[in-house]
């Protein structure tokens, strides 16, 4: 069953068309990886799914409901079931790790006192971090920051988690452990995940399906095997990281 369906999405900033009649379906409980070059619109795509940006035209359906054709209350309810792990983590530097993880719970009055501490600890243990609630973000390594950002997302028990470049900027071993974590959360929490990356190793490892964004459209969508064996010259060039090919610098 489709949990998310993007239909004919268009989005321009000034004269720059970033999404161009984009169509994409995401099945409930699956992990979809969106690949594409830097600047091609991957973050913009995620922001449309989670309702931070609204399309110029087209629709974003979540469980069949168009998020922009519904009441404000229903919009909030739909978006409440999603959580995004932002590129770089976007932690609040003046708040402790625990306060960062529990931030949304506190903001929405969802837990108090012992209940809050317990939820923060549970979320941190799901990302294999223990006893670090009191630390400040500046004391964390890059990989730990990404884990804390993930703990903050899962604290809210989302049905859908969006990850923006979860392995960018960390070393390959840390990247692999973050990928393992994304997979294990998939198994444990049965969430639907959408992961944006330009790292093919991560894409093959975690994706049930992989979609490639190019010039505002999803030009191919398939299983990791199908993508790996794609004869599409654009896909071939991207997944193999080749300078020569139909994709040019512009």
Question: Is there a contact between 35 and 210 (Cβ–Cβ < 8 Å)?
Answer: yes
Cβ proximity of 34 and 211 under 8 Å? yes
Between 28 and 217, whose beta carbon lies closer to ligand ADP? 217
Does 148 engage in binding with ligand ADP (CB under 6 A)?
A: no
Partner interacting with residue 80 (select from ligand ADP, Mg ion, none; CB below 5-8 Å by kind): none
Q: Which is nearer to ligand ADP, 44 or 91 (CB)?
A: 44
Point out which residues bind Mg ion (CB under 5 A). 43
| Among 3, 4, 6, 18, contact with ligand ADP (rule: CB under 6 A) | 18
**Distances from the Cα of 151 to the Cαs of 52, 155, 181, in angstroms?**
21, 6, 11
Is residue 250 close enough to count as binding ligand ADP by CB under 6 A? no
* Phi, psi values for residue 7, rounded to 5°: -120, 120
- Which H or E run contains 239? helix 233-239
Residue 203 lies near ligand ADP (rule: CB under 6 A): no
Helical spans, DSSP H, in 19-141 = 42-49, 72-80, 97-101, 103-107, 113-126
Q: Are strands 82-85 and 65-66 parallel, antiparallel or unpaired?
A: unpaired
Q: Which of 44, 78, 227, 247 binds ligand ADP (CB under 6 A)?
A: 44
User: In 3-state terms, what secondary structure has residue 185?
Assistant: helix
39 or 64: whose CB is closer to ligand ADP? 39
Q: Does residue number 40 form part of the binding site for ligand ADP (CB under 6 A)?
A: yes
Burial class of 234 by CB neighbour count within 10 A (0 to 12, 13 to 18, 19+): middle
Binding piece for ligand ADP, criterion CB under 6 A, among 10-18, 118-126, 169-177, 236-244: 10-18
Distance CA 11, CA 229 (A): 31
SS3 content of the chain, % helix, strand, coil (to 5): 40, 25, 35
Q: Does 48 bind ligand ADP (CB under 6 A)?
A: no
CB distance 174 to 142 below 8 Å: yes
Give the shortest CB-155-to-ligand ADP separation in angstroms: 25
Residue 112 C-beta: closest distance to ligand ADP, Å: 36
**39 near ligand ADP, rule: CB under 6 A:** yes
Q: Which of 6, 19, 24, 43 binds ligand ADP (CB under 6 A)?
A: 43
Minimum CB distance to ligand ADP, residue 195 (Å) = 12
Stretch of 32-40, 65-73, 155-163, 217-225 lying at the interface with ligand ADP (CB under 6 A): 32-40
Residues that bind ligand ADP (CB under 6 A): 13, 16, 18, 36, 38-44
């Amino acid at each position: 069953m489709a949990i998310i369906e993007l239909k004919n999405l268009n989005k321009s900033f000034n004269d720059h068309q970033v999404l161009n009649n984009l169509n994409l379906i995401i099945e409930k409980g699956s992990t979809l990886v969106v690949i594409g070059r830097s600047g091609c619109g991957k973050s913009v795509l995620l922001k449309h799914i989670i309702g931070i940006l609204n399309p110029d035209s087209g629709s974003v359906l979540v469980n069949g409901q168009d998020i922009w054709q519904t009441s404000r209350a229903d919009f909030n309810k739909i978006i409440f079931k999603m959580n995004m792990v932002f590129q770089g983590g976007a932690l609040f530097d003046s708040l402790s790790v625990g306060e960062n993880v529990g931030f949304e719970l506190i903001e929405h009055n969802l837990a108090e006192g012992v209940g809050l501490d317990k939820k923060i600890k549970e979320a941190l243990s799901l990302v294999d971090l223990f006893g670090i609630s009191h630390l400040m973000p500046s004391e964390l390594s890059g990989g730990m920051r990404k884990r804390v950002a993930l703990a903050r997302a899962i604290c809210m028990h989302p049905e859908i988690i969006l990850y923006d470049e979860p392995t960018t900027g960390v070393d390959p071993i840390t990247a692999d452990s973050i990928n393992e974590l994304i997979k294990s959360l998939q198994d444990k929490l049965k969430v639907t995940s959408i992961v944006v990356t330009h790292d093919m190793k991560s894409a093959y490892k975690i994706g049930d399906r992989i979609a490639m964004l190019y010039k505002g459209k999803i030009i191919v969508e398939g299983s990791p095997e199908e993508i790996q064996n794609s004869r599409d010259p654009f896909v071939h060039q991207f997944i193999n990281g080749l300078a020569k090919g139909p994709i040019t610098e512009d």
